[in-house]
Homo-oligomer: A and B are copies of this chain.
């Protein structure tokens, strides 16, 4: 049986550590505050917001919510982002997606200041933070003391916010890193080289036992609705779980850690400001 890399457990452990950092900041009258912008009542945005509020509560981070009407203009949202950027009392800014179609999303995210961009939304300017999802993959490996140095790591996917930063983090930990994508030939064969496999292709249950070397550690970034009305990942959990030495479940794996890491970014920002 593989080790289950339990995202909920890791999130709880992290929350205890982060709460202690927030308590220390409070003693110096520094209050980490996350500003959030939600436009309208989109179901996905409202549901993500609820998760953010839970993670904030668990760590002691305050949230200042801006909820704008669904017919707001790009210029009005832009003005709000500029005000948040300029407000030293706000440590981070998260804007929920999707935005209504009349808003110029690329132009708006491009306004978010790198030091406030806790969610790495701005594709034009390098955020001061590491994208939460990539960071969550490494956090799980670290907390379960999975050896990384000198190992072969295969990253499936090269997106700006997941695959590419996950590859950089694995390289920093001295793994030998291979990045695969939709144009990779013989993908099962290449993926079988991996002692560690990060699946972030966004294709439901595509990675089955044929892709995995026995004993490999498998981290599943995907999240999809399955036919039974539940959730599943990029990895076929049943067949891969039988081969892997460790694996993240979906749900309850990578996704359970990300909103807590977002709080870590807010706290990092507040600590940096306090210096």
A residues sitting closer than 8 Å to B (CB atoms) are 126, 149-152, 158, 167, 171, 174, 176-181, 183-185, 190, 193
Contact = CB atoms under 8 A, between A and B. Distances in A.
A152 B184 CA distance: 8
A181 B174 contact: yes
A179 B171 contact: yes
A178 B151 CA distance: 12
A176 B178 contact: yes
A183 B174 contact: yes
A184 B150 CA distance: 5
A191 B6 CA distance: 35
Copies of this chain, how many?
Answer: 2
Contacts of A179: 167, 171, 176-178
A149 B184 CA distance: 8
Nearest to A151: B185
B184 A158 contact: no
21 contacts: A126-B126, A149-B183, A150-B183, A150-B184, A150-B185, A151-B185, A152-B190, A158-B171, A167-B179, A171-B181, A174-B181, A174-B183, A176-B179, A176-B181, A176-B183, A176-B190, A177-B178, A177-B179, A178-B178, A178-B179, A193-B193
A181 B171 CA distance: 9
Contacts of A190: 152, 176
Nearest to A175: B183
Given A174-B181, A178-B178, 12 more contacts: A126-B126, A149-B183, A150-B183, A150-B185, A151-B185, A167-B179, A171-B179, A174-B183, A176-B180, A176-B181, A177-B179, A193-B193
